[in-house]
């Protein structure tokens, strides 16, 4: 994923950024229409949002929906791949945890 953004005045296609806001674990995050949930989380500095069986932090690994490292719950729908689902204004997202583990993992530093 590239952090490069095309300035509005230089966009020959005429795209306009449409802001959106989602809630992740009771934290409001701003994004742009078209971003995936993972994209909004990464842009907010959240590199990991759950832990694997070994306790290692997990976030986006493959970025194309093949692995299951970026799973979140959107509303009542569990096991949503954050890298595949586009964020929608007003989404309420909770990070997932394994039953044997304690609290959710709201890490911002990837470790």
Comparing CA positions, the residue from 6, 15, 80 lying closest to residue 41 is: 80
Q: Using one digit for the tens of pLDDT, what is the confidence trace for 15-64? A: 678 999 999 999 999 999 999 999 999 999 999 998 888 888 889 999 88
pTM for this prediction: 0.75
Q: What is the mean pLDDT of residues 83-107?
A: 76
Rounded to whole angstroms, the Cα distance separating 69 from 54 reads 13
Q: Evaluate if residue 5 carries a pLDDT over 70.
A: no
CATH of domain 15-95: 3.10.20.440
Rounded to whole angstroms, the Cα distance separating 10 from 7 reads 5
Rounded to whole angstroms, the Cα distance separating 38 from 60 reads 7
Q: Where are the domains of the chain?
A: 15-95
* Residues belonging to the chain: 111
């Amino acid at each position: 994923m590239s952090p490069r953004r095309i300035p509005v005045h230089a966009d020959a296609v005429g795209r306009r950024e449409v802001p959106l806001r989602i809630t992740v674990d009771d934290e409001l995050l701003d994004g742009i229409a078209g971003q995936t949930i993972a994209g909004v989380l990464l842009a907010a500095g959240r590199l990991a949002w759950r832990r694997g069986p070994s306790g290692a932090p997990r976030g986006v690994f493959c970025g194309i929906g093949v692995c299951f490292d970026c799973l979140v719950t959107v509303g009542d729908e569990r096991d949503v791949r954050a890298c595949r689902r586009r964020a929608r204004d007003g989404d309420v997202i909770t990070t997932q945890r394994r039953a044997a583990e304690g609290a959710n993992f709201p890490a911002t530093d990837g470790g």
